[in-house]
Amino acid sequence: MTNFFGPTKVGLAAALSLAVAGSAVAQSHYETAVFAGGCFWSMEHDMEPIPGVVSVVVGYSGGRAPNPTYEQVSSETTGYLESVKVTYDPQKISYTSLVQRYWHVIDPTDDGGAFCDRGSSYHSAIFVASPEQRRIAEASEAALKQGPLKGKPIATEIRDAMTFWPAETYHQHYPQKNPIQYAEYRLGCGKDRRLHDIWGPLALK
């Protein structure tokens, strides 16, 4: 009996293999950036919708003790900052543009935390993983000092990248999983009001 399904199955398998390979190739072109900007829930909320951003993971960076927990970081004794690891497609958004968008979702002049969240774990920082990232971050900071933040001290640090530790599962995608609680937190924290005071129409853009 002629097997009418054999060639079709082979063809489907080949197509599936090519699709998987194509996806792997695409992912291999993705790049990552790590930022700290206060509450990592809000950083994820504000950076995930940026066109070209593939994913955002919340976590901790800047400290040295391995496997930090939220309780340890929030004790303000570990040196860790609440951070986000942003995976992006450089064919759709450049690192330069990503840094520019980052500035507009934080208050770079706050040296005591971020909005209603106070303490060293909420400080803002750009963790650079290469000389090129450092060059771009420093040039972007210099432009702020000559432009919209002229005459104001910038507290955001540009730091060498360190190990990024993902936060606990319940912190990942918190705004999507708990929209009411997050909306109440964000309103009470006054982040959007402060961003508009600093950036005007550029806030969140």
Q: Which residue matches tokens 């959007």? A: 192
Residue owning tokens 């993971």: 57
Residues with Cβ < 8 Å from 68, sequence gap 6 or more?
Answer: 60, 78, 80, 165
Query: Catalytic: 39?
Result: yes
Dihedral sign, CA of 13, 14, 16, 17? Answer: positive
DSSP symbol at 4: S
Tell me, what amino acid is at 193? R
The letter for the amino acid at 49 is P
In the block, residue with structure tokens 């208050």: 107
Catalytic residue among 33, 34, 36, 39: 39
Active site residues per annotation: 39
